[in-house]
Amino acid sequence: MTWISKSTSALGLLLFTHACYSAHEHSALQAHRAASLSSLTTSHGGVGVISSLPLDIAIETIVATFVITFGLVLGTAKLRPIQWRVWAGQIEREGEEGFKNSSGEVDRDYVGNPFKLLESRPGFVDIRRQRQEFAEWVKGQ
């Protein structure tokens, strides 16, 4: 992951944790208040009356979700073309550059040029010259 995706996700998680804690505190406070009220008045009102979440917590949650999603999307791996000709063309043009993951290393399953087999061919061996060289070496011994 790049630093921008990491920092965005971290910011989102921070907001998210804060929203979660706030919501928990809110519900705990509501429950406590309802309990103390019912003990004061001894009325049979519902104890578990929880008013709906305050608007700011709801907004914070939604915003945090957006920010985290944004950060995660930025952190995903680069896609590769599925059509053979497009894919091979990209390798020919960009080489390893197009197949780096977000931390700048070449992906492990990068196979390299698919036409490598066609592009390099060992030359013919000059057997006569090698034989002559060997003969000279034997003579020199």
Partner 1 sequence: MPTEREFQVAPIVPESVMHNTKALSNLQSLTASIFGVAAGILGLESYNGFLFYFVFTLLTTVLFYAFRVAPTSLKSGLGMFDTSRYYRTQYEFWTGGIFGGLAGYILTWTLFYGLIRA
Query: Nearer Cβ to partner 1, position 62 or 135?
Result: 62
Tokens of 67: 């920010």
68 and 13 Cβ atoms separated by less than 8 Å: yes
**CB-based burial, 9-33: b 16+ in 10 Å, e otherwise:** beebeebbeebeebbeebeeeeeee
Query: What minimum distance in Å lies between the beta carbon of 43 and partner 1?
Result: 23
**The binder of partner 1 chosen from 4, 47, 77, 135 (CB under 8 A):** 77
Query: Nearer Cβ to partner 1, position 10 or 77?
Result: 77
Q: How far apart are CA 82 and CA 90, in angstroms?
A: 11
Q: How far apart are CA 82 and CA 113, in angstroms?
A: 15
**The binder of partner 1 chosen from 4, 29, 62, 135 (CB under 8 A):** 62
Helix (H, G, I), strand (E, B) or coil at 3: helix
Q: Which string of x and - marks every residue 12-51 that binds partner 1 (by CB under 8 A)?
A: ----x--xx--xx--x----------------------x-
Site for partner 1 in 94-133 (CB under 8 A): 109, 111
Binding residues for partner 1, rule: CB under 8 A, are: 16, 19-20, 23-24, 27, 50, 52-53, 57-58, 61-62, 64-65, 68-70, 72-74, 76-87, 109, 111
